[in-house]
Structure 1
Amino acid sequence: MDVVHEPGGLSTASAIADLATDWYWQLDENLCYLFHDGRRAPLNAPDHASLAGRSRLSHLCGGGAATSSVLQHQSMLEQHLELDMNIAVEQAGGTLVHCHIVARPILDANGQFRGYRGCGRDITDSVVMQQQLLHMATHDELTGIFNRRELHTRLQRLHDFVQGTRHEFSLCLLDLDRFKLVNDTAGHAAGDRLLMDLVELIQGFLAEGETIARMGGDEFALLLESPADSAAKRGRCMIDAIADYEFTWENRPYKVGACIGITPISDGQGTVEELTDRADSACYAAKNEGRNQCVVFSHDSQAYLEYRAELEQLEMIKSALQANRLRLYMQVIEPSTRRTQRAHYEILLRLESENGELLTPDAFIPVAERFNIMQDLDIWVLEHCLNTLEAFRQRGQEISLSINLSGNTLSDQSALQRIIDTIRLTEVPASLLCFEITETAAISNIDNVVSFMNSVKQEGVQFALDDFGAGLSSFAYIRSLPIDYLKIDGYFIRNIRSDSTNRAITAAFVQLSRDLGIATVAKCVEDKATRRCIQRLGIDFVQGYGVARPRDVDQMLSELSVEPVRKVAWSGMIGNNPGSLA
Structure 2
Amino acid sequence: MESDNGLLRLLYADAAGNDVEQLTSVLRNAGLAVRATAVADAESLGEALAGHSYDLFLCADGLEELPLASAIRVLHQAGRDLPLLVLADGEEPQRRREVMAEGAVDLVSKADPEHFRLVVARELAGLHERRRIRRVEAALRETERRCHALLDSSRDAIAYVHEGMHVYANRSYLERFGVRDLDEIQGLPVLDLIASEDQDRFKTFFRHYMRGDSDQQAIDVHIQAADGEVERVHMEFSAASWDGEDCSQILIREQSSSAELEERLEDLSRKDLLTGLFNRNYFVDVLDRALAEQLDADDGSTSALLYVRLDNLEAVRATHGITVLDMVIGDVATLVERQAGGGGLAARYSDAVFTLLLRHHGVHEALAVAESIRKSVEDHVTEAGNRTITKTCSLGVAVLGDGVATAEQAINLASAACEAAAEEGGNRVQLHAGEEPEGGDDWRTLIEDALAGEGFDLYYQPLVALDGDQTERYEVSLRLRATDGEMLEPGAFLPHAERHGLAAAIDRWVLDQAAAAVAARQQRGHETTLFVRIGGASLGEQAVVEQLAETLQRLEIPGERLVLQIAESVAVTQLNQAKAFHERARALGCGFALDGFGVTGNTTQLIQHLPADYLKIARELTEDLGSNDRHQQQVRELIATGHEMGKRVIAGYLEEATVLAMLWQYQVDLVQGHFLQEPLPDMGYDFTGMVI
Q: When the two structures are superposed, what TM-score results if normalisation uses the length of structure 1?
A: 0.44
Which one has a larger percent helix, Structure 1 or Structure 2? 2
Q: Which has the higher contact order (CA 8 A, sep 6+)?
A: 1
Structure showing greater radius of gyration is 1
Q: TM-score, normalised by structure 2?
A: 0.37
